[in-house]
Structure 1
Amino acid sequence: MAPSGYSTIAAHASSSNPSLWLYSVFGGIFMCKIVYELTGIISPLIFKGFVKLENAQKLEWKNRGFSTLHAIFVAIGAVYLLVISDLFDEHVREEWIINRTSALSDAILGISIGYFLTDLVMIIWTYPTLGGSEYFLHHGLSLLAIGQSLLSGLVQFYLFIVLFREITTPLVNLRWYLDVAGKKNSTIYMLNGVALFAGWLAARVLLFVFFFSHMYAHKYQVDCSMTLHIYPMGFYSTVVIPSVLALMNLFWFWKIAKGMVKALTKVKEHDHST
């Protein structure tokens, strides 16, 4: 069994690679910058109306470009680490699941920090063009959770479950693109809404049920009141931050469901009238 107490944190810290974290964070920032510029170059070739957009819309259009890439990247990384690799397979290793890390998982988290930092700076710099206070809360909590997990080497399993929720981001961004492009009444817009509803339900609602169920089943590893295996701040952030994100997800899910019902009602009324 893995050592308990704060010695575990020290052991993880001594075996970690801070230079990898630094390179990964800067890599994430560099990725955002490159994709932001490329989106501005490629978009006019795909959508002729791009040049006619307002400056604020062009800014958000390019911002959503690197947002989409980050979402796809971390979702693929989460699937690989959680499902394909044996890093978090409890039948393969005896080490407690909250202690498991790898160079790949550290690199992915570092890149994700780079993305959230870049996006948060853009949100602050252009406020309120790219979003309001809810984005400050979302990005701030994400940075706190990822930063703590990366520095301590703990609870990366749970963090990647939460990060997988980003799989719905490309659908959100596509919906915005279609709206700006004047395709709000198109079939693809309606199909996107249905896909967003289903994806949000699976990745941002039901997956959180699994998250908390798994954590409860492994409370002997996570609960700092039962063991010194995880430091108090790590425990509270592991419980509180996903809880806040889950509540935000439920609120947004309610809005998505409400919008989908409204859209389907319009389609039904249109069919009856014709």
Structure 2
Amino acid sequence: MAVSAQTAMAIKSYQNHAEVLVRNYLLADPFIPYTSIFGGIFACKVAYDLSQLISTFYFKSYSGLTKIQRIEWNNRGISTIHAIYITAISLYFVFWSDLFSDQRFAGIVTFRNSQLSTFGLGVTVGYFLADLGMIFWLYPSLGGMEFVIHHTLSGIAVAYAMFTGEGQLYTFMILISEVTTPEVNLRWYLDTAGMKRSKAYLINGVVMFFAWLIARVLLFIYMFYHVYRHYDQVIQMHTFGSLLVFGVPSALAIMNLMWFAKILKGLKKTLAKRQ
């Protein structure tokens, strides 16, 4: 009993020390951006290793892939996990949290932020850095110049919102578009596994079409409308921040429309083959 009590006290002591460390250092305002970035990079490494481990044991087609295909398989595992994470965080802040609500809070919406919102963006910055590193390392096997441009623009915008606290609402609006990433990755997985003629491939194509339409076309229109309604607040941001709010979503919207046209063309082609 005495040993058990001492063990419990020791565990409690360690818990208290851990809570102090997290509260006073990892979640202290000056340290949040850096700890979240490193946390995001570390999470990417863990996700890569888990994807490799799980795929080796549970997917027979994985062992038959080339080295570069296995790397891309694991890399897409990272992006899928990140997409689920950032989509959930973004939906919360844009539609459910009171942080950016015009009804609950007065004041300039473009300057609102919190420790949680800043930390959430920092993890995404870590992901973009890790993914860009892999893209450059294996260029162009994991993606061409369009991926470099997309990740660079997105990474700069997210990093600016994280470090300055400006324009976080619009950053989260744009990041909701990551909801399309799991569908895109699943399509690649099915294709690589030789399941291009399967029913799952067709369903995935239809889901991807509607997800892209909602998250990367209609949502961007809503975001531009919101910027129009709050134009007087947007222009009070730093000049560079204002340029990011206007410029980055516009560039991404053009890329999204180009990719959407390819998705629509591919879906039509798939449906025509099944008739």
Please, what TM-score do these two structures have when normalized by structure 2?
0.89
- Aligned ranges for residues 35-50 of structure 1 at < 5 Å? 35-50=47-62
- Give the counterpart letter for 2:36 in structure 1: S
| Matching residue within 222, 238, 263 for 2:270 | 263
| Matching residue within 207, 211, 224 for 1:195 | 207
- Give the counterpart letter for 2:261 in structure 1: W
Aligned identity (percent) is 46
| Matching residue within 63, 85, 88 for 2:97 | 85
Bigger-Rg structure (1/2): 2
Residue of structure 2 equivalent to 1:171: 183
Paired residue secondary structure (2:31): helix
Paired residue secondary structure (2:93): helix
Instruction: Give the Å deviation of 1:143.
Output: 1.2
Could you tell me how far apart the structure 2 residues matched to 1:148 and 1:50 are? 38
- Give the counterpart letter for 2:118 in structure 1: D
Determine whether 1:103 maps to 2:103.
Answer: no
- Give the counterpart letter for 1:189 in structure 2: Y
Residue of structure 2 equivalent to 1:254: 261
Runs of 4+ in structure 1 off by over 6 angstroms are none
RMSD: 0.9
| Matching residue within 68, 72, 81 for 1:56 | 68
Instruction: Report the more deviating stretch, 158-167 or 142-151.
Output: 142-151
Paired residue secondary structure (1:18): coil
After superposition, the C-alpha distances for 1:57-109 in whole angstroms (9 at most, x for unaligned) are 00000000010000000000011111121111110000211111011100110
Instruction: Give the Å deviation of 1:45.
Output: 2.0
Could you tell me how far apart the structure 2 residues matched to 1:48 and 1:231 are? 53
- Aligned ranges for residues 204-215 of structure 1 at < 5 Å? 204-215=216-227
Please, what TM-score do these two structures have when normalized by structure 1?
0.89
Larger relative contact order (CA 8 Å, sep ≥ 6): 1
| Matching residue within 210, 231, 235 for 2:238 | 231
Residue of structure 2 equivalent to 1:244: 251
Could you tell me how far apart the structure 2 residues matched to 1:232 and 1:100 are? 17
After superposition, the C-alpha distances for 1:34-65 in whole angstroms (9 at most, x for unaligned) are 01011001012221111110001000000000
Residue of structure 1 equivalent to 2:8: none
Could you tell me how far apart the structure 1 residues matched to 2:133 and 2:273 are? 39
Runs of 5+ consecutive residues of structure 2 not aligned to the other structure: 1-27
